Amino acid sequence: MCANTVTVNQGETQGVIVLFVRGRSIRFRGRVPSSFWGSLLMLVGHLVGTFFIFLVFLVLTWGISYSVSVLDGRHKFPQNVMDIITQVELYLLYIDIALCTIVLLLGTARFCMDLLENRYE
């Protein structure tokens, strides 16, 4: 699969991202903030999105842990099974931390790039 991305900066098509996949073009309209406050609002949106991603994975990990402890209370699991389940819970938490870090860094980088490019003057 061959894909190329092009940003078009001409007249009415400013901020349009065109993705070419196998000879077909797919257009995405980029939301370019027109003010400092718009950029700040997008950063806050990124932070809220990061919070929800973290919350979903945290609830998922907690749900698995709670379910396993209830099942273990009714019928004891072998120790090696409990070790595997504990490892899965830890990996879910690590994935959660990694995803949230990536989203947070990308949002912060976008905000800083908006400020450095002086789009608002």
Q: Quick one: tokens of 36?
A: 């400092």
pLDDT of residue 1: 47
Q: Contact at 8 Å (CB) between 39 and 114?
A: yes
Q: Quick one: tokens of 118?
A: 């002086």
Coil, strand or helix at 118: coil
| Under-50 pLDDT residues of the chain | 1, 4-14
pLDDT of residue 118: 59
pLDDT of residue 121: 52
Q: Contact at 8 Å (CB) between 33 and 111?
A: no
Q: Contact at 8 Å (CB) between 104 and 47?
A: yes
Please tell me the pTM assigned to this model: 0.55
Range list of H helices, 16-78: 36-74
Q: Where are the domains of the chain?
A: 1-30, 33-116
Helix (H) or strand (E) holding 21: strand 16-21
User: What is the side-by-side strand order in the sheet with 24-29?
Assistant: 3-8, 16-21, 24-29
